[in-house]
Structure 1
Amino acid sequence: MESNIGESNFNSSITPEDADIHLAATPPEESAGRSEFGAEEGEEGEENTPLINKPKTSHPVKSHRNIGDRTASYGGVVGPGDDRNTGDSEAHGGDEPRFQTHKDYSIFQHNWRWTMNVILFINTLFLVFVFICYFFLNFGFGTGRNESFDKLLFISVALIGNCFNLWFNDIWLISSWDYFMDMVLTGLPLTNLALFMLTSYTRTRLNFSTVMMFLWLALTFGLSLYQSYKLQEYIKQLAPETVQNKHTLKEWIKIAFRNVVKILCCGLLFLMTLNSFLFMIDTHNVANFKDDDSQFVYADSQHSKTLHIKCSGLENHDKTKPIVLYEHGGEDTSYLSGRWIQELYHLGKIESYCVYDRFGYGLSDSTSAPWSLKASAEALRYALVDEMKLEGPFVVVGYDYGGLVGRVFVSQNRDICSGLMLVESWHEELLLKKYFKRLFPGDGDDNGHDGNNDGNSDDKVSFRVPEREIHKRNGLKVWWNGLWSSIGLNLHYSWMVRHRGSRDRILGRDMQHQGKFLRTKFLEVLTSSLLSYKDILETNPKLRNVKLSVVSSKEMVRKSSIWGDWQRKLTKLSGNTKEWKIVDGEHNFYQNGVGKELAQDVLLRLLNE
Structure 2
Amino acid sequence: MATLWRHNACHDEEQNEQQNEPHHNDRQPTHERDEQEDPDEHTRLLPRENPVYLSPDDPAVSPYNLWSIRALRGLSSLFLAISFIWWAFLLVSIFVSPPGMHTRGSGFLCFSYTTLTVAYLVISLLFFSVPSRPMAISAIVLLVLLFVDMCIILGVPRLRVEEGWVGIASVVWATVIALYNILQIRSVAWGKREEEERLTGREETRRPLREWIAVLIESIAMTVLALVSVLFTATLILRARDASLAPPGHQYLVNGDSFQVHLACVGNRSDDTPTVLLEGGEGPVEHTLQPFIDDVARSGAIGRYCYWDRPGFGWSDNAPSPYSAGMAADVLSEALAVAGEEGPWVLVSAGVGGIYSRIFASRHVLEIDGIMLVDSLHEDYLSHVGRPGRGFVLWLRGIFSPLGFDRVAGAIFRGRTREDRVIGRSAYQSGKVIRAKLQENLVAATMTWSEIQTARHVQVAETPLMVVSSGVEVKKSEKWSKAQEGLTKVTRNLQEWDIVNGAPHEVWKTVEGRQLLEKRLRQLVKTGDP
Give the TM-score normalised by structure 1.
Answer: 0.75
Q: Distance in 2 between matches of 1:30 and 1:197?
A: 57
**C-alpha spacing 1:19/1:406, structure 2 compared with 1 (3 Å):** farther
Q: Distance in 2 between matches of 1:115 and 1:28?
A: 31
The structural deviation recorded for 1:416 is 2.6
Indicate if the aligned counterparts of 1:179 and 1:225 stay in contact, CA closer than 8 A. Answer: yes
Indicate if the aligned counterparts of 2:63 and 2:192 stay in contact, CA closer than 8 A. Answer: no
| Stretch moving more, 18-27 or 160-169 | 18-27
1:479 to 390, 395, 402: 395
Q: Secondary structure at the match of 1:550?
A: strand
Q: Secondary structure at the match of 2:426?
A: helix
Q: Deviations over 1:170-216 (max 9, x none)?
A: 1xx11112322222333333322321333343233341222222222
Q: Distance in 2 between matches of 1:573 and 1:541?
A: 9
Residue 420 of structure 1 pairs with residue 371 of structure 2: yes
The answer for the alignment partner of 2:118 in structure 1 is 159
The answer for the alignment partner of 1:45 in structure 2 is none
Q: Which has the larger radius of gyration?
A: 1
2:219 to 247, 259, 264: 259
Q: Secondary structure at the match of 1:395?
A: strand
The answer for the alignment partner of 2:237 in structure 1 is 277
Residue 121 of structure 1 pairs with residue 37 of structure 2: no
**C-alpha spacing 1:418/1:229, structure 2 compared with 1 (3 Å):** same
Q: Please list, as runs of the form range in 1=range in 2, the aligned pairs for 1:278-357 lying within 5 A after superposition.
A: 278-284=238-244, 286-287=245-246, 290-291=247-248, 294-300=249-255, 302-314=256-268, 317-357=269-309
Q: Where does the alignment leave 5 or more consecutive residues of structure 2 unmatched?
A: 1-19, 34-48
**C-alpha spacing 1:58/1:213, structure 2 compared with 1 (3 Å):** closer
- Which letter maps to 2:208? T
Indicate if the aligned counterparts of 1:148 and 1:518 stay in contact, CA closer than 8 A. Answer: no
The structural deviation recorded for 1:553 is 0.7
Residue 383 of structure 1 pairs with residue 335 of structure 2: yes
The structural deviation recorded for 1:527 is 1.5
Q: Distance in 1 between matches of 2:159 and 2:63?
A: 52
Q: Please list, as runs of the form range in 1=range in 2, the aligned pairs for 1:65-144 lying within 5 A after superposition.
A: 69-70=60-61, 80=64, 106-136=66-96, 138-144=97-103
Q: Deviations over 1:445-495 (max 9, x none)?
A: xxxxxxxxxxxxxxxxxxxxxxxxxxx982222222222322111112221
**C-alpha spacing 1:58/1:107, structure 2 compared with 1 (3 Å):** closer
**C-alpha spacing 1:24/1:228, structure 2 compared with 1 (3 Å):** farther
Indicate if the aligned counterparts of 1:319 and 1:392 stay in contact, CA closer than 8 A. Answer: no
Q: Secondary structure at the match of 2:276?
A: strand
The structural deviation recorded for 1:243 is 4.1
The structural deviation recorded for 1:400 is 0.4
The answer for the alignment partner of 1:374 in structure 2 is 326
Q: Distance in 2 between matches of 1:384 and 1:196?
A: 31
Q: Please list, as runs of the form range in 1=range in 2, the aligned pairs for 1:439-588 lying within 5 A after superposition.
A: 474-543=390-459, 544-584=461-501, 585-588=503-506
Q: Distance in 1 between matches of 2:204 and 2:372?
A: 77
| Stretch moving more, 593-602 or 196-205 | 196-205
Q: Please list, as runs of the form range in 1=range in 2, the aligned pairs for 1:35-46 lying within 5 A after superposition.
A: none
**C-alpha spacing 1:21/1:228, structure 2 compared with 1 (3 Å):** farther
**C-alpha spacing 1:488/1:434, structure 2 compared with 1 (3 Å):** closer
The answer for the alignment partner of 1:15 in structure 2 is none
Indicate if the aligned counterparts of 2:63 and 2:191 stay in contact, CA closer than 8 A. Answer: no
Larger relative contact order (CA 8 Å, sep ≥ 6): 2
The answer for the alignment partner of 2:205 in structure 1 is 245
Q: Secondary structure at the match of 1:407?
A: helix
**C-alpha spacing 1:557/1:23, structure 2 compared with 1 (3 Å):** farther
2:56 to 64, 89, 106: 64
Q: Please list, as runs of the form range in 1=range in 2, the aligned pairs for 1:195-234 lying within 5 A after superposition.
A: 195-234=152-191
The answer for the alignment partner of 1:182 in structure 2 is 139
Residue 358 of structure 1 pairs with residue 310 of structure 2: yes
Q: Where does the alignment leave 5 or more consecutive residues of structure 1 unmatched?
A: 1-17, 32-56, 71-77, 81-101, 437-471
Indicate if the aligned counterparts of 2:29 and 2:51 stay in contact, CA closer than 8 A. Answer: no
1:605 to 509, 518, 523: 523
- Which letter maps to 1:311? C
Q: Deviations over 1:363-382 (max 9, x none)?
A: 11112100100111111100
- Which letter maps to 1:116? S
Q: Distance in 2 between matches of 1:109 and 1:550?
A: 73
Q: Distance in 2 between matches of 1:435 and 1:405?
A: 15
Q: Distance in 2 between matches of 1:308 and 1:473?
A: 31
Indicate if the aligned counterparts of 1:421 and 1:549 stay in contact, CA closer than 8 A. Answer: yes
Indicate if the aligned counterparts of 2:104 and 2:162 stay in contact, CA closer than 8 A. Answer: yes
The answer for the alignment partner of 2:347 in structure 1 is 396
Q: Secondary structure at the match of 2:236?
A: helix
Q: Please list, as runs of the form range in 1=range in 2, the aligned pairs for 1:399-410 lying within 5 A after superposition.
A: 399-410=350-361
Q: Distance in 2 between matches of 1:342 and 1:482?
A: 33
The structural deviation recorded for 1:592 is 0.8
The answer for the alignment partner of 1:452 in structure 2 is none
Q: Secondary structure at the match of 2:55?
A: coil
The answer for the alignment partner of 1:431 in structure 2 is 382
The structural deviation recorded for 1:565 is 0.3
Higher helix share: 2
Q: Percent identity?
A: 23
The structural deviation recorded for 1:570 is 0.4
Q: Distance in 2 between matches of 1:375 and 1:160?
A: 37
Indicate if the aligned counterparts of 1:362 and 1:506 stay in contact, CA closer than 8 A. Answer: yes
The answer for the alignment partner of 1:466 in structure 2 is none
Q: Secondary structure at the match of 1:432?
A: helix
The answer for the alignment partner of 1:150 in structure 2 is 109
The structural deviation recorded for 1:568 is 0.2
Q: Deviations over 1:498-539 (max 9, x none)?
A: 212111111011111111111111121122111111111111
Q: Distance in 1 between matches of 2:24 and 2:359?
A: 86
| Stretch moving more, 19-28 or 371-380 | 19-28
The structural deviation recorded for 1:342 is 0.7
Give the TM-score normalised by structure 2.
Answer: 0.86
**C-alpha spacing 1:23/1:405, structure 2 compared with 1 (3 Å):** farther
- Which letter maps to 2:188? L
Q: Distance in 2 between matches of 1:364 and 1:263?
A: 36
Q: Distance in 2 between matches of 1:189 and 1:263?
A: 14
Residue 27 of structure 1 pairs with residue 29 of structure 2: yes
The structural deviation recorded for 1:306 is 1.0
**C-alpha spacing 1:351/1:174, structure 2 compared with 1 (3 Å):** same
| Stretch moving more, 576-585 or 508-517 | 576-585
Indicate if the aligned counterparts of 1:192 and 1:276 stay in contact, CA closer than 8 A. Answer: yes
The structural deviation recorded for 1:542 is 1.3
The structural deviation recorded for 1:22 is 6.8
Q: Distance in 1 between matches of 2:227 and 2:23?
A: 42
| Stretch moving more, 237-246 or 477-486 | 237-246
Q: Secondary structure at the match of 1:151?
A: helix
